[in-house]
Amino acid sequence: MSQKSAMRTFKLPNTFVLLCGILAMIALATWLVPGGKFDTQLVNGKQLIIPGTFHYVANKPQGLAALMMAPIKGFVDASLIIGFVLIVGGAFAVLQKTEAFDSLIKAIAKAHTSSRFVRAAIIPVFFTMFSLGGATFGMNEEAIPFILIFVPLALALGYDTITGVSIPFIGSQVGFSAAFLNPFNVGIAQGIAGVPIFSGIGYRLIVWAIATAVSIVFLMWYAARIKRHPEKSPTYLLDIEKRSEHSMDLDSFAGMTRTHRAVLWIFMATLLTMVVGVVKYDWFIDEIAALFLVMAIVVGLVGRLDMDSLVASFVQGARDMVSVALVIALARGTMILARDAQIIDTILHALTPLVASSSPVFAAQKMFFMQSVINFFIHSGSGQAALTMPIMAPLADLVGVTRQTAILAFQFGEFTTPMIPTSGITVGVLALARVPWITWAKWMIPLQLIYLVLALLLLIPPCLMHWQ
C-alpha cells in the first residue's frame, strides 16, 4: 500500500459532519432508548445525582422538527460560552497583529549565534514558551506558522526537522493538554460541569510543569543524539535537501521595540488579573470575557494600531472562532435532544458499569481512555468538552470521582492529538514541514507511551485527595 493510500485509509469526516451524524443518531436513539431519571440533591449550589436512585420514566421521542431546531437551541443554551470564545479569539488576533510574540521569538533566536548558553537553552526556553501559550490562551493552530521559523533554526543549530517541528507543535499541544488557564478546554469544560472557572489551578500547575519538563528532557535527549549522529534522524535525507534550499536570516531583525515589550507586559498583567479575579472574586465567563475585551483595546492602542486595523484584526479573530462556536452549538444540541427526550440519565445508568470501579483511581483512568478514543474523532478541545462533559460530569458523581478530576481526565485525552492523522493541526503542521505522517508517527510512539504513563500516574493524587 502506498503512503497516499495509507493516509486515505485514516481520513475521516470533519468535526461538523461527525457532530451532525451524532445529532441524527441521538434523535434516532430518542425513539429506541427508554426514558429514565436519577433523583438529585442540591450540594454547594450544584444539583448532584444520588447514586442508586435510577428509575424508568416515559420517554419523549424527538422528531425531524426537534432535530432541525436542536442546533439553534444549542446556540441559545451555550450563548455565554460562545460569546466568550468569540471575544477571546478577537482579543488574541489583536495581540498577534502587534507582532510582539514574533519579535520575542526572533530576539531569542538571534541570540543563539553569540551565546553558548543561549544555544543550550534554545529548546527548553522556546518549548516552555509554547507550552505556556497552550496552557494559558489555548495556543493551537497559532503554532503552525512558527514551523517556518523553527525548522530552519533547528537545522542551523545542527538538529533536524523533527526537532524544529516539535518545539512549537509538541510544546503548544502539551501545554494545551495539561493546561491550567486555557479558556478553550479547561474554561469551557468547567463551565459546563458547573465547576468554578479555572478552579483547581494549584494541581494543574504541577501537572503542566511535570508534563512540560518530561517533554523537554525527551526532546533534548533526542536533539543531542541527532547532533552527534545526524544520519539517525528519520528526516535525514529531507534535511540535506532543506539545508540546500533555506537558511535562516535574522540579520535584518533589529530587536524588540519598546512597544513590543509593553504589549507583552500588558498580556502578562491580563493573565495575572484573570487569576486574581477567579481565585479571589469568583469571576465567571462574562467577567473574563470583558477582561480580554479590555486587553484587546489597550494592546491595540499601545501597539500603535489604528482603529481600522484594531477592529479588522478583532473581527478576523472572532471570525476564525466561528467554527469553534458552531461546534459548541452542535454539541450542545445533541445534549438538548437527549435531555428533552429524558434519555440522558438512562445513558449514564448504562455507562456507569463501564467506568465504575472499586477504586476511584481506576474509574478516572477509564474516563481518560474513553476521552482518548473520543479525541480521535472529535479533536476540537472545546467541541469535545461541549459533547462529553454533560455526560462525564454527572457520571463522575456516580462513580465516586470529583468533577474536577473528570475534567483533568478529559484534558489528558488530548495528549494523543499530536499523533492522530484525523487532526487538522497535525496534518497541517506536517504538510508545512514536509514530513510524512508515517515518519512522524513512528517517532512519536515512545513519547506517546510516556504521555500515557504520565496521565495514568497524574490522575492518582486528585482521586486520593478528593480534589475539588
The C-alpha atoms of residue 468 and residue 456 are separated, in whole angstroms, by: 19
Which residue from 172, 246, 159, 154 is spatially nearest to 212, judged by alpha carbons?
Answer: 172
pLDDT at residue 249, as a whole number: 56
Q: Which residues pair with 43 in a beta bridge?
A: 46
The C-alpha atoms of residue 85 and residue 328 are separated, in whole angstroms, by: 10
Q: What is the pLDDT of residues 257-282, one digit of tens each?
A: 899 999 989 988 987 888 788 767 87
Q: Which residues pair with 41 in a beta bridge?
A: 48
Q: Using DSSP, state whether 357 is helix, strand or coil.
A: coil
Q: What is the pLDDT of residues 344-363, one digit of tens each?
A: 788 777 877 888 787 889 99
Please give the average per-residue pLDDT across 105-122, as a whole number.
Answer: 72
**C-alpha 181 chain-centroid distance:** 11
Q: What is the pLDDT of residues 122-132, one digit of tens each?
A: 899 889 989 99
Place of cell 479571589: 280
C-alpha cell at 56: 424508568
User: Range with the lowest mean pLDDT among 74-88, 226-240, 292-306?
Assistant: 74-88
The C-alpha atoms of residue 411 and residue 203 are separated, in whole angstroms, by: 13
Name the phi and psi angles at 342, rounded to 5.
Answer: 65, 40
CB atoms closer than 10 angstroms to residue 121: 15
- pLDDT for residue 381 is more than 80: no
Return mean pLDDT, the chain. 83
Please give the average per-residue pLDDT across 106-129, as a whole number.
Answer: 77
pTM: 0.70
Q: What is the pLDDT of residues 3-52, one digit of tens each?
A: 444 444 445 555 677 778 888 888 898 899 898 887 877 765 556 667 67
Contacts of 411 by beta carbon, 8 Å cutoff, 6+ apart: 177, 178, 179, 185, 186, 189
The C-alpha atoms of residue 178 and residue 209 are separated, in whole angstroms, by: 9
